[in-house]
């Protein structure tokens, strides 16, 4: 198979996805690598129907890779994960609304362009966790104790002009669960919460409770994700979702490289969850139209997928 990985500069030495790329090449698949942050990309030639069996994204939330992945999807290429699923979780404000709308446990969420606007939130809901809606890797996450502390903590490295979200702090033991999903299999890791860096906990794989497993599986269904991670806090009212990531690090997952590599190949062959769902929805709409309208005088045959060209767009750097 022929695959294209979009890899952000900060992941150029990261085991995930570089080891997955090496594994796929060892299995004799062709893998092209595009570095969106430091490459001139002739997109009119690189992104075209039939160029690859799938495109895979591993970039930061605010990076340029998602636009390129959406371009690949626009010409009919399979993407890992589905582009709409990625967009849905990378915008944390949007993700909170989608999740709560589907009954998933997410803290009450506020949004504002400026941190001082959160001073209108009742003081009883403080402390607040304030973070950029497009943040990743714990960037600019702040625990704000009282309304009068709002502006100052965000000024040094907060986003310029981006949307912020605020959620009431969920009391916890100082650790959280990172639950990974690979090919429908779930793996849980206990680790130190980013808001409690002084709480020394060795990151380790832990058993999944039925409730946490159900929540983690529902996230894949709700957002249309295939490879993902979810951060869950065990609060006084039960598990609470605090973040969702597409294509995370998969730390502590047994044989992670082989498992993720095999999952990527399977998704490239059979389509992602979001892609299959969109095809199913389109079929339902078409069937509804056919039932409501007179019979057409002719049928439009399906168009086969173009054959893959032999030329490469340029290998990894």
Residues 113 and 155 in one domain: yes
Which of 46-50, 111-115, 116-120, 132-136 comes out lowest in average pLDDT?
132-136
pLDDT confidence band for 282 (50 / 70 / 90): very low
Question: pLDDT (tens digit, 9 = 90+) per residue, 110-126?
Answer: 999 999 999 999 999 99
pLDDT confidence band for 173 (50 / 70 / 90): confident
Residues 60 and 7 in one domain: yes
- The predicted pLDDT at position 300 comes to 27
Convert 139-154 to b/e letters by CB count within 10 Å (16 or more is b). ebebbbeebebbeebb
**C-alpha to C-alpha distance for 107 and 262, rounded to whole angstroms:** 35
14 located within any domain: yes
Average pLDDT over residues 142-168: 75
241 located within any domain: yes
Structure tokens at 260: 């993720």
pLDDT confidence band for 10 (50 / 70 / 90): confident
pLDDT confidence band for 105 (50 / 70 / 90): very high
**Helical pair 65-74 and 83-90, crossing angle rounded to 10 deg:** 150
Hey, CA dihedral for 67, 244, 207, 221, is it positive or negative? negative
User: Which domain-ending residue is among 116, 136, 168?
Assistant: 168
Query: Residue 242 belongs to what domain range?
Result: 175-265
DSSP string, 164-188: EEEEE----SSEEEEEEEETTEEEE
Which of 34-38, 169-173, 283-287, 301-305 comes out lowest in average pLDDT?
301-305
- The predicted pLDDT at position 92 comes to 95
Question: Long-range contacts for 137-143 (Cβ within 8 Å, ≥24 apart)?
Answer: 137/60, 138/194, 141/194, 141/195, 143/169, 143/195
- The predicted pLDDT at position 12 comes to 84
Q: What angle do CA 267, 269, 274 make, to 5 degrees?
A: 40
312 located within any domain: no
Phi, psi of 40 (to 5 degrees): -90, 120
30 located within any domain: yes
Residues 127 and 181 in one domain: no
**C-alpha to C-alpha distance for 246 and 55, rounded to whole angstroms:** 14
Give the count of domains, the chain: 3
CATH number at residue 137: 3.30.1490.20
pLDDT at residue 242 greater than cutoff 70: yes
CATH number at residue 246: 3.30.470.20
Residues 156 and 180 in one domain: no
CATH number at residue 19: 3.40.50.20
């Amino acid at each position: 198979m022929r695959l294209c990985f979009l890899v952000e500069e900060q992941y150029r030495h990261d085991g995930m996805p570089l080891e997955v790329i090496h594994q796929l090449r060892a299995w004799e698949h062709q893998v092209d690598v595009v570095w969106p942050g430091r490459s001139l990309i002739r997109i009119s030639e690189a992104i075209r129907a039939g160029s690859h069996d799938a495109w895979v994204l591993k970039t930061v939330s605010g990076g340029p890779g998602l636009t390129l992945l959406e371009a690949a999807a626009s010409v009919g290429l399979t993407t890992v994960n589905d582009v709409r699923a990625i967009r849905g979780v990378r915008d944390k404000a949007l993700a909170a609304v989608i999740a709560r709308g589907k009954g998933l446990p997410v803290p009450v969420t506020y949004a504002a362009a400026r941190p001082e606007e959160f001073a209108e939130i009742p003081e009883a809901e403080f402390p607040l966790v304030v973070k950029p809606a497009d943040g990743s890797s714990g960037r600019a996450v702040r625990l704000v104790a009282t309304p009068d502390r709002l502006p100052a903590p965000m000024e040094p490295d907060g986003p310029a002009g981006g949307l912020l979200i605020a959620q009431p702090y969920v009391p916890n033991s100082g650790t959280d669960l990172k639950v990974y999903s690979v090919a429908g299999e779930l793996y849980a890791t206990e680790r130190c919460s980013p808001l409690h860096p002084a709480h020394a906990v060795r990151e380790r794989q832990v058993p999944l409770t039925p409730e946490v497993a159900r929540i983690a599986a529902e996230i894949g269904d709700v957002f249309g994700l295939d490879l993902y991670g979810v951060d869950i806090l065990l609060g006084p009212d039960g598990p609470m979702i605090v973040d969702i990531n597409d294509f995370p690090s998969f730390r502590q997952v047994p044989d992670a490289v082989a498992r993720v590599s095999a999952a990527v190949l399977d998704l490239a062959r059979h389509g992602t969850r979001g892609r299959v769902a969109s095809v199913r929805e389109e079929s339902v709409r078409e069937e509804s139209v056919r039932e409501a309208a007179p019979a057409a005088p002719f049928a439009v045959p399906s168009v086969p997928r173009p054959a893959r060209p032999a030329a490469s767009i340029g290998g990894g750097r």
